């Protein structure tokens, strides 16, 4: 039995909407894929692969025999929000799948999605029943995956939890970053409502240091958990950066999500009719590509400074490590161009204060003995001009600035990598990206769970 490759709706169909791009797999397809799981004597998928420690072989075995209720019980015992991770996680577990040593790895992410979707459709996902309260209160600042996971865990352990969120709705990047075509926001709202029914309180449109002071929170709550993510995007300080038409990726993505969610009617940044250049080759850049195509961009090109990864696992990342290799997102299959070894040198003015083009040179890389790129130089006489009147910067995040309101409100320190340092002696804790740097949703959830265990 081979791994199913056709998991998406037709391109022509999905480009006309913002519905999730993956097609629903048939139960017989899911069960046959679950049977590919090898029942390993020493599985690596849930240990070195999954930050949450999902017991993947046991879940797959239950799904394979059609025992969806047991599969859900196993999955929900380690994962707070599998409806999110099964849609947006890069599936680190699949990189550690033993089956992947000789053939394609098991479709672990799609199996997880089938299990959680079946659980919701059968009414098995219910608000937690908290038998008793311990008399302690917690303020969770930030309603993203780390904050929501911490809130869920602490609430289940008897704490009175209030989540403070600066935006109109909880969810963080789940709601205001990841496009709807990857994660339908109704799923986020559904989970938040379950948390609310279980006893978690939400206070949205509230900025700490502006609407509520840190001093008030410290007096009102026994414990404080900061889970604000990494709000500072990485900039590209080259000539012409001040020109109009150059935006950070999240400004672009957030605007589209807010329009779909009914929070506003006009896109603050639109790609309609534009020649779009996306600088940054990661998932956020791919999300920009898919969104720009749906908005009706005239053309889209995604530029990546790094060299093109190998088609197969690089020797620098042997199994069971997460493989360094080429990955193609659903958005890349919808149109546009990808270019590697692209070092952007300058933004060109159109004569009216807006960007008209980019000057891009070819980067020549030196590689380690294992085949990983280590440093580059600019290839002489390689600079070309690429026409673009909308540029989206999708180069990741630099962490939390020491000038961040929350840092000053609670008199905390930030290390050289932009990670907030906790002050447990003052009952102030830090979770997720704010504590460790920009990473994955699954790691943020795992860290939120850990905060719950620590405070309990």
Phi, psi (5° rounding) for residue 300?
-140, 130
Other C-beta atoms lying within 10 Å of the C-beta of residue 183: 23
Domain-ending residue, one of 345, 377, 395: 395
Residues 62, 66, 69, 75, Cα dihedral to 10°: 40
248 plus 371 within the same structural domain = yes
144 plus 109 within the same structural domain = no
- Number of independent structural domains in the chain: 3
The CATH number of residue 213's host domain is 3.50.50.60
187 plus 274 within the same structural domain = no
Q: Which domain holds residue 441?
A: 137-231+398-455
Q: With CA atoms as reference, report the closest residue to 139 among 219, 230, 217.
A: 217
End-to-end CA distance of the chain: 45
Percent pLDDT > 90 in the chain is: 92
pLDDT digits (tens, 9 = 90+) for 379-426: 999 999 999 999 999 999 999 988 888 999 999 999 999 999 999 999
Q: Does 366 reside within a domain?
A: yes
Structure pTM?
0.96
Write out the two tokens for 300: 């889209």
258 plus 222 within the same structural domain = no
pLDDT digits (tens, 9 = 90+) for 263-280: 999 999 999 999 999 999
pLDDT digits (tens, 9 = 90+) for 167-190: 999 999 999 999 999 999 999 999
Q: Does 435 reside within a domain?
A: yes
273 plus 143 within the same structural domain = no
264 plus 355 within the same structural domain = yes
Q: Does 3 reside within a domain?
A: no
Q: Does 368 reside within a domain?
A: yes
181 plus 320 within the same structural domain = no
- Which residue has tokens 């390993």? 40
Percent pLDDT > 70 in the chain is: 100
Classify 451 in phi/psi space as left (phi over 0), alpha (psi -120 to 50) or beta. alpha
Judge residue 241's burial from the number of C-beta atoms within 10 Å of its C-beta, 0-12 exposed, 13-18 middle, 19 or more buried.
Answer: middle
Q: With CA atoms as reference, report the closest residue to 126 among 174, 190, 201.
A: 190
Q: Does 2 reside within a domain?
A: no
39 plus 102 within the same structural domain = yes
Find the mean pLDDT for residues 94-123: 95
Find the mean pLDDT for residues 351-365: 98
111 plus 86 within the same structural domain = yes
What's the pLDDT score for residue 324?
93
């Amino acid at each position: 039995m081979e791994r199913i490759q056709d998991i998406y709706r037709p391109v022509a169909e999905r480009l006309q909407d913002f519905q999730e791009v993956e097609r629903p797999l048939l139960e017989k397809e899911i069960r046959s894929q679950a049977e590919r799981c090898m029942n390993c004597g020493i599985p690596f998928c849930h240990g070195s692969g999954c930050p949450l420690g999902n017991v993947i072989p046991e879940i797959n075995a239950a799904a394979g025999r059609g025992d969806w209720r047991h599969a859900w019980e196993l999955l929900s015992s380690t994962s707070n929000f599998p409806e999110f991770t099964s849609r947006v996680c890069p599936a680190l577990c699949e990189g550690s799948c033993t089956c992947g040593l000789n053939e394609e790895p098991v479709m672990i992410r799609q199996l997880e999605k089938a299990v959680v979707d079946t659980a919701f459709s059968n009414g098995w996902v219910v608000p937690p029943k908290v038998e008793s309260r311990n008399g302690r209160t917690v303020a969770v600042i930030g309603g993203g995956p780390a904050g929501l996971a911490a809130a869920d865990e602490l609430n289940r352990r008897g704490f009175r939890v209030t989540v403070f969120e600066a935006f109109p709705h909880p969810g963080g990047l789940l709601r205001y970053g990841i496009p709807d075509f990857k994660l339908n926001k109704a799923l986020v709202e559904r989970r938040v409502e379950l948390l609310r029914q279980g006893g978690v309180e939400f206070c949205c449109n509230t900025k700490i240091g502006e609407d509520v002071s840190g001093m008030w929170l410290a007096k009102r709550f026994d414990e404080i958990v900061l889970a604000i993510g990494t709000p500072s995007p990485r900039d590209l300080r080259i000539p012409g950066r001040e020109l109009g038409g150059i935006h950070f990726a999240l400004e672009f993505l957030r605007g589209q999500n807010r329009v779909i969610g009914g929070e506003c009617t006009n896109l603050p940044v639109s790609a309609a009719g534009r020649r779009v250049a996306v600088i940054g080759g990661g998932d956020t850049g791919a999300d920009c590509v898919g969104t720009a195509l749906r908005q009706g961009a005239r053309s889209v090109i995604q530029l990546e400074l790094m060299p093109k990864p190998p088609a197969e696992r690089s020797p620098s990342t042997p199994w069971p490590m997460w493989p360094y290799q080429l990955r193609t997102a659903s958005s890349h299959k919808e149109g546009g161009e990808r270019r590697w070894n692209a070092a952007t040198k300058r933004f060109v003015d159109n004569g009216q204060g807006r960007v008209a083009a980019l000057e891009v040179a070819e980067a020549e890389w030196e590689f380690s003995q294992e085949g990983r790129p280590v440093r580059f130089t600019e290839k002489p006489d390689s600079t070309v001009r690429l026409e673009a009147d909308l540029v989206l910067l999708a180069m990741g995040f630099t962490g939390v600035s020491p000038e961040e309101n929350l840092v000053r409100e609670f008199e905390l320190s930030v290390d050289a990598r932009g990670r907030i340092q906790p002050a447990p002696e003052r009952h102030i804790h830090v979770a997720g990206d704010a504590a460790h740097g920009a990473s994955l949703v699954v790691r943020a959830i795992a860290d939120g769970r850990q905060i719950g265990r620590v405070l309990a």
